[in-house]
Chain A
Amino acid sequence: MQHFTNETIDIQQLPKYEETLLAKPDRKYWNIILINLVIFLAFIGIGLALVLILNKEAQTNWMIWTGLYFAFAAFLFLLYRASFKRRGFALREKDVLYKSGIIAETTTIVPLNRIQHVALNEGFLSRMFQLGTLQIYTAGGSSGEIRIAGVPIEQAKAIKEALVQRLVINAKPETV
C-alpha cells in the first residue's frame, strides 16, 4: 500500500492565478506595434488622399474627412497603447499564464501537463528588435492557446527550452 492521504483542501489556500506577478512584454515591442500601426494608417491615408484628389464632391468636405482620419488614428493609437499596457505573462511551476485583450481583458491559463507543443516565431520586424513570439499549443483548439508576442529572443528561447523539458518529463511515464 502506498502512502495515501486525503485531506480536505481549503479553496482559499490554493494559489491564486489572479495575483500572479506578470512579466510585461519588452518595451521594444511597442515600437513594432507602432510601426505596424503606421504602415496600416499610411495605406488608409493613401486611399483617402486618392479619393480626395479624384472626387470633386469629397474635396468640398476635405476638412471632415481628414478630421475623421486623424480621430481614427488617435483612437487606434490609444486602443493599442491600452492593450499593450494590459499584456503580461507568467511562467508558474505548473502552468503558463497570459493576459491580453484590446477591449475585454482575457487571461488564459495553460497547465504544463496539457501542452502539446511549443513554437518560437521570429518575424521580420521582430528580428530587427531581437524579439520573438512564443506559441503554446494545446489539444483544446485555437481559442484555448497562448501566443506571447514581444519576448526578448534569449528569454523566449530559455522559456521554450524549459517548457519542452517539462514536456519530456511529462511524456515519460506514458511511453514506459
Chain B
Amino acid sequence: MPLDFSQPQRQSAAGILISGAYTVQRFARAMFIPLAIFLIKSNKTALLYTILGLVGVLIISLIYGYFYYRKFTFYLDTLKQEFVIDKGVFGRKQLSIPIEKIQQVNINQGFLQKLIGVYSLQIDTAGSDSKEVNISAISRDIAYALKEHLLNDDKNEISSIADADLNIQPFSQYDTSFIKISPATLLKIGLTSNYGQSIVLLLGFGYAVFHNIKEVLKAFDNDNGQVEQFFKSGVTIISISVLLVTIIFVLLVTNVIRTFVKYFDFQISKHHHSLLISSGLLAKKNTLLHPDKVQITEYSQNYFQKKIGLFNMALKQANSGQQQSEKEVRANNMEVPGCSPSEKDEVLRMILSKLPQDGTSYKPNFRFMNLPIVFSIILPLAGYLVFYQFIAEVRAFYPLAIFYVLVASLMIYISFTKHRITVSEDFIIKQRGIWDISKEIIEPHKIQSISTSQFPWHRALDIGHVTLHTAAGDISFSYGNFREIKNLVNWLLYQVEISEKDWM
C-alpha cells in the first residue's frame, strides 16, 4: 500500500469518537465524587435533569470531537525535513518538528482504541511537551509507515523513501526480537524489584479510599469518626503483625500485577538503526528510539536479582530542561524491566556500540559519610534523647532506636563503599546505591558541561566534588581526591572539545 505523507491528511474518522471520549473522561474524572454525592442525595426530578445535562455534555463533546477531527491535519514536509501538524478548533496551532530532532516515537493502543481498532502516535523531542505532538487515532498501517519515515535519520535515505515508498516496504520487516521477556521472568521481576513505586501507589490508593469513604459518610450525615475508630480499635500487637504480613503480601501482589500490566509480552527488536520496544497487557505500547540519542544508559541489580541473574535497565534520553513531573521524566526513560547478563550486554552493545571496558576507578574519601551520619543518625538520635528525658511513654521504644541507628549506619557505610566512578577511554561509569546498586554509563561526548566544587575546609585535605551535566541529568562524584578530579576534568574537557561527534 503506497502511503504518501507529503499531502496534509486527517486522522481516521474514529478519532471523533476518541477525542469525544477523552473530553467525557476528563469531565467525569473531575466531577465524579460531587456527582455521586449529588445523585445519592437528590430526588427524581433533579436526577432527570442531571442525566439530561450529562447527555448534553456527551453530545457537545462529540460535536467538539468532530470539529477537532476536521481541523486536525498532519503531513511530512520532505523538502524541509519537517513533520507538520495543524490543529485547533478555536485557536489554530501549527507544530513543525524537524525530523532529526525526534528522539522517539510511541505507538500506543489504549482500551478504547483497542475496541475501535486504531492506534495513537506520539512524538517525543528533547524540547517539547510530549502531549503536544499526539495523533490520537490512526490505523495500524499508517502508524507504522509514518514511524518508519520519522525515525529514518539518514538524510539520503529519507529523500529516497519519499520517491520509492513501495521499494522500501518489503525491507521493513523487523529483525527477530533479541530480547523477549517470558511471564516467568516477569513474575521474578515483580517479586524482586520496584517496591518503591508500588508503595507510593498503595499509599495513594489507601489515602484515596480513606478520604472517599469519609466523603460518602459525610454525605449521609453520619460521619462520627467510624473510620478513625476502626483503625484505633484494630491496633494490638497481634493485629499489627497480621497487618504487616498482609501489607507485605498486598505489596508483592500489587507489584506483580503492576509488572504484568506494564511489561507483559515485552520485546526489543533491532530495526535499521533504531530499537523497537513493545510491551503492555491491556494497552499495547510501542516505542521506537534511536540508540545515538540515548544520553545515559543505566543498569541496576539488587541482592535478590543478583542471585537469580537479572538486571533492570533504563535508557535515559534528553529532557526539555524545564522542571518536569516524575511521570514525564519516566516517559523519557525507556525501562527494560528484566534481562539476563547476556541480554544486558546485547543492549549495551546496541547503544554504546561496544561493551564498557575496565578503567581507572576513583573512590571517595571516608568523609563522604560525615553529612549523612549527622543528618540521619546524630540529629534524629539527639531528638529522641530529648524526648526520652521529658516524655515517659517513648522510653519503651529504645530497642527501636538502637535498631534504627544500626541499620542507618550500615546503609550509610554501604552507600560509601558503593559510591565510585570509573573512567576509561570511551566511557564514564558511575556506580551508586544501597539496596539497588546501579551503574550509569555515559560517553564523554554526551557531556554538556562540568562543575567542580570544594568546601574551604577541604582545601588542606585536597577533597572535592565533580558533577558532569548531561541532557538527561547530572552525574556526580563526591569527596574524591581533588587533584585526581582536576586531572580527570581536564581529560574529559579535552575529549569533549576535540570530539566531532554530536551529542544527539
Chain B associates with chain A: yes
Q: Give the B-binding residues of A (Cβ under 8 A).
A: 9, 11-12, 14-18, 94-95, 101, 103-114, 138-146, 174
Question: Pick the contact of A139 from B321, B467, B491 — CB < 8 Å?
Answer: B321
Give the complex CA separation of A62 and B493 in angstroms: 56
Q: Which residues of B contact A111 (CB under 8 A)?
A: 447, 449, 493, 496-497
Q: In the docked arrangement, what's the CA distance between A146 and B454, Å?
A: 17
Contact residues in B for A174 (Cβ distance below 8 Å): 502
B451 touches A9 (CB 8 A): no
Report whether A140 and B449 are in contact in the complex, using a CB–CB cutoff of 8 Å.
Answer: yes
A-B contact pairs, 29 of them (CB 8 A): A12-B487, A14-B491, A14-B493, A14-B494, A15-B490, A17-B489, A17-B490, A17-B493, A103-B455, A103-B456, A105-B454, A107-B451, A108-B449, A108-B450, A108-B451, A109-B449, A110-B448, A111-B447, A111-B493, A111-B497, A114-B503, A139-B126, A139-B504, A140-B447, A140-B448, A141-B471, A143-B451, A143-B467, A145-B449
Residues in B lying within 8 Å of A, measured CB to CB: 126, 318-319, 321, 447-456, 467, 469-471, 473-474, 486-487, 489-491, 493-494, 496-497, 502-504
Q: Are B452 and A143 in contact (CB under 8 A)?
A: no
Given contacts A107-B451, A107-B452, 11 further A-B contacts (CB under 8 A): A14-B490, A14-B493, A17-B490, A101-B453, A103-B456, A108-B450, A112-B497, A114-B503, A138-B449, A139-B126, A139-B318
Q: Which residues of A contact B491 (CB under 8 A)?
A: 11, 14
CB atoms of B503 and A106 under 8 A apart: no
Give, as a whole number of angstroms, the nearest-CB distance from B155 to chain A: 10
Q: Are B474 and A104 in contact (CB under 8 A)?
A: no
Alpha-carbon distance A121/B391, docked complex (angstroms): 57
Q: Which residue of B lies closest to A109 (CB)?
A: B450
Contact of A144 among B319, B453, B474, B504 (CB under 8 A): B474
What's the nearest-Cβ distance from chain B to residue A75, in Å?
15
Q: Are A18 and B454 in contact (CB under 8 A)?
A: no
Q: Indicate whether A144 sits within 8 Å of B451 (C-beta atoms), given known contacts A14-B491, A16-B490.
A: yes
Cβ A144 vs Cβ B490 within 8 A? no
- Which residues of chain B come closer than 8 Å to A141, judged between CB atoms? 319, 321, 469, 471, 473-474
Expressed in whole angstroms, the Cα–Cα distance for A94 and B318 within the complex equals 24
For the complex, what is the distance from the CA of A114 to the CA of B454, rounded to whole Å?
24
How long is the Cα–Cα vector from A114 to B492 in the complex, in angstroms? 13
Cα distance, A90 to B504, chains bound together (Å): 27
CB distance from A6 to the nearest CB of B (A): 12
User: How far is B451's CA from A17's CA once the two chains are assembled, in angstroms?
Assistant: 11
Q: Answer whether A144 and B486 are a contact pair too, CB < 8 Å, given A14-B494, A107-B451.
A: no
B459: nearest chain-A partner, CB-CB: A105
Assembled-state Cα–Cα distance A112/B449 (Å): 10
- Which of B319, B449, B504 has the most A CB atoms < 10 Å from its CB? B449
Residues of A within 8 A of B467 (CB): 143-144
**B321 and A106 form a contact (CB under 8 A):** no
Shortest Cβ gap from B176 to chain A (Å): 35
B465 (CB) vs chain A CBs: closest residue? A104
Select B469's contact among A17, A105, A143, beta carbons within 8 Å. Answer: A143
Instruction: Choose one: A9, A17, A106, A114; the contact of B448 (CB below 8 Å).
Output: A114
Q: Are A95's CB and B497's CB within 8 A? A: yes
- The docked-state distance in angstroms from the alpha carbon of A114 to that of B469 is 11
B318 neighbours in A (Cβ, 8 Å): 139
Out of B319, B455, B497, name the residue touching A94 (CB < 8 Å). B497
Q: Are A109 and B448 in contact (CB under 8 A)?
A: no
Within the complex, the shortest CB–CB distance from B397 to chain A, in Å, comes to 37
